[in-house]
């Protein structure tokens, strides 16, 4: 339908007899037609009374390659039109050509700050579709890793969000703490970011002997450090001035726009997938869901910071519950046999060969499986067609859905506040564009 790249024709923008009111079309190259633009901006933009400004995709405060087309009246944002797709890598398409096991590394690369959450969402969907049971130890280990991932995601968010608003030191502290979590990632999976550790049926392997001490180190250090961030920001008058009452969204609007995660809870809506539809034995743990009241940038900040404590409490409980046992299902049709078995068992050899050459088959049908990632509800809609490859993998990305109401949240705010709002939504462009 839209194949023509159209620049605003200069004639269309010239108001008769007022040569000074001409939009400089060389500055704003638009990839939308004039008709489409008219629906998105106010009529004043077309006369040159308000300014159309291009923010991004190479802008440090857009957290990646987010491009915003802004209509500005002085410093006030009249309209904000997000333009996404600059990081579209076709992950959903690529996953269709790979079997279920080989598609896991692709999921790491959607929300690359929370790879384990994505792994779990995809593997959970595969387990639901195929009907695989996961051993209890693997479920508890998944919970520990999920909560570490949440802390990892929130740390990067806090650091960059504070940096956007002008608090440089918080960024450095957050990166320091994140190192400890990445050390755990490295110890369990060998990779610091793209872990691919969670597999259908359990985990790739059991955690190493020093896993407990690494996690314990985090649990020992973290409560004090989180208190320090809070001291730096919570009552900081400059921080409050930049965040309180900025980027408000009401509970009704947040639900109607499909927001999830801390963005929704900041508006006071109690929705957390861990409570609503517990997966991976989350119902065995006691934790509360922090809620905000005003739905502004400050409340979203508050929710995330309070989630640190809850995550640590869950990890403590899970470490206590952890008992030795298998971490992979013993269903040989989906899980590879142990190496030593291959040496003497013909059947294991066949299973191994079948799994690594073809993979396991999934029945025909669709399932939807959601996890609560650090950013919100990360769901995977998986459609099987009876073959070892999925017919369709769709990631319901929290960043994509949370970013959509950006234009609503930022209407009438100042340009500098827009930066705070983008930060508070906590987007990862890999997740938005997939």
CA distance linking residue 180 with residue 221, whole number of Å: 10
Q: How many DSSP H helices and E strands does the chain contain?
A: 20, 8
CA distance linking residue 118 with residue 91, whole number of Å: 13
Q: Is 25 in the site for another protein (CB under 8 A)?
A: no
CA distance linking residue 374 with residue 111, whole number of Å: 10
For another protein, the closer CB: 62 or 243: 62
Min dist. Cβ of residue 363 to another protein (A): 9
Q: Which of residues 122-151 bind another protein (CB under 8 A)?
A: 128-129, 131
Binding mask 257-296 for another protein (x = CB under 8 A): xx----------x-x----xxx----x-------------
CA distance linking residue 209 with residue 195, whole number of Å: 18
Place of tokens 């499909």: 258
What DSSP string runs through 152-207?
HHHHHHHHHHHHHHT-HHHHHHHHHHHHHHHHHHHHHHS-SS----EETTEESSPP
Among 10, 12, 24, 85, interactor with another protein by CB under 8 A: 85
What residue spans of 190-261 are helical by DSSP H?
211-233, 237-243, 251-256
For another protein, the closer CB: 73 or 83: 83
Stretch that binds another protein, among 140-148, 213-221, 232-240, 362-370 (CB under 8 A): 362-370
Min dist. Cβ of residue 289 to another protein (A): 13
Residues that contact another protein, how many (by CB under 8 A) = 53
CA distance linking residue 321 with residue 317, whole number of Å: 6
Q: Which of residues 364-423 bind another protein (CB under 8 A)?
A: 365-368, 370, 377, 379, 381, 383, 391-392, 394, 396, 400-401, 404-405
Q: Which of helix, strand or coil describes residue 362?
A: coil
Q: Is 255 in the site for another protein (CB under 8 A)?
A: yes
For another protein, the closer CB: 94 or 294: 94
Q: Is 102 in the site for another protein (CB under 8 A)?
A: no
CA distance linking residue 203 with residue 329, whole number of Å: 9
For another protein, the closer CB: 31 or 347: 31
Please name the residues in contact with 305: beta carbons below 8 A apart, sequence gap of 6 or more.
154, 158, 226, 229, 230
Among 9, 12, 15, 90, interactor with another protein by CB under 8 A: 90
Burial of 52 (0-12, 13-18, 19+ CB in 10 A): buried
Min dist. Cβ of residue 2 to another protein (A): 5
Min dist. Cβ of residue 268 to another protein (A): 12
279's tokens: 């997966």
Torsion angle of the four alpha carbons 315, 319, 325, 327, in this order, in degrees rounded to the nearest 10 = 20
CA distance linking residue 8 with residue 242, whole number of Å: 35
Q: Which of residues 36-75 bind another protein (CB under 8 A)?
A: 36, 39-40
69's tokens: 């087309």
For another protein, the closer CB: 124 or 359: 124
Min dist. Cβ of residue 26 to another protein (A): 14
Stretch that binds another protein, among 143-151, 239-247, 256-264, 288-296 (CB under 8 A): 256-264
- Determine if the peptide bond prior to 12 is cis (ω within 30°): no
Among 29, 210, 250, 411, interactor with another protein by CB under 8 A: 29
Min dist. Cβ of residue 205 to another protein (A): 28
Contact 25, 13 (CB under 8 A): yes
For another protein, the closer CB: 330 or 366: 366
Residues contributing to the site for another protein (CB under 8 A)? 1-5, 29, 31-32, 36, 39-40, 84-86, 88, 90, 92-94, 96-97, 128-129, 131, 255-258, 269, 271, 276-278, 283, 365-368, 370, 377, 379, 381, 383, 391-392, 394, 396, 400-401, 404-405, 433-434
């Amino acid at each position: 339908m839209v194949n023509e790249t159209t620049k605003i024709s200069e004639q269309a923008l010239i108001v008769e007899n007022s040569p000074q009111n001409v939009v400089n079309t060389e500055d704003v190259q638009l990839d939308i037609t004039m008709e489409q633009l008219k629906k998105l901006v106010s009529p004043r933009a077309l006369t040159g009374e308000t300014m159309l400004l291009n923010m991004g995709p190479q802008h440090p405060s857009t957290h990646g390659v987010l491009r915003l087309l802004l209509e500005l009246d002085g410093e006030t944002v009249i309209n904000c039109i997000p333009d996404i797709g600059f990081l579209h890598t076709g992950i959903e398409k690529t996953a269709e050509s790979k079997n279920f096991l080989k598609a896991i590394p692709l999921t790491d690369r959607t929300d690359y700050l929370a790879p384990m959450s994505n792994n779990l969402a995809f593997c959970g969907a595969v387990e639901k579709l195929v009907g695989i049971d996961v051993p209890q130890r693997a479920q508890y280990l998944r919970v520990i890793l999920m909560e570490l991932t949440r802390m990892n995601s929130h740390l990067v968010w806090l650091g960059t969000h504070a940096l956007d608003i002008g608090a440089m030191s918080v960024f450095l502290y957050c990166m320091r703490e994140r190192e400890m979590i990445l050390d755990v990632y490295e110890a369990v999976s060998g990779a610091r970011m793209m872990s691919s550790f969670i597999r259908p049926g359990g985990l790739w392997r059991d955690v190493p002997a020093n896993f407990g001490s690494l996690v314990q180190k985090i649990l020992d250090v973290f409560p004090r450090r989180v208190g320090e961030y809070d001291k730096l920001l919570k009552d900081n008058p400059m921080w409050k001035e930049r965040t309180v009452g900025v980027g408000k969204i009401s509970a009704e609007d947040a639900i109607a726009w499909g927001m999830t995660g801390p963005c929704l809870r900041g508006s006071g809506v109690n929705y957390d997938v861990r409570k609503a539809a517990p997966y991976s034995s989350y119902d065995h743990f006691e934790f509360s869901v922090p809620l905000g009241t005003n739905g502004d940038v400050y409340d979203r900040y508050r929710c995330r910071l309070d989630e640190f404590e809850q995550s640590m409490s869950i990890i403590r409980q899970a470490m206590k519950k952890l008992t030795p046992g298998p971490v992979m299902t013993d269903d040989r049709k989906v899980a590879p046999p142990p190496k030593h078995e291959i040496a003497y068992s013909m059947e294991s050899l066949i299973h191994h060969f079948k799994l690594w050459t073809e993979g396991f088959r999934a029945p025909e049908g669709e399932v939807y499986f959601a996890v609560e990632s650090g950013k919100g509800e990360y769901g995977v809609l998986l459609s099987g067609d009876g073959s070892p490859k999925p017919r369709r993998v769709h990631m319901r990305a929290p960043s994509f859905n949370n970013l959509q109401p950006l234009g609503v949240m930022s209407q009438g705010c100042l340009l500098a506040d827009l930066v705070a709002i983008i930060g508070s939504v906590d987007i990862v462009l890999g997740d938005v564009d997939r």
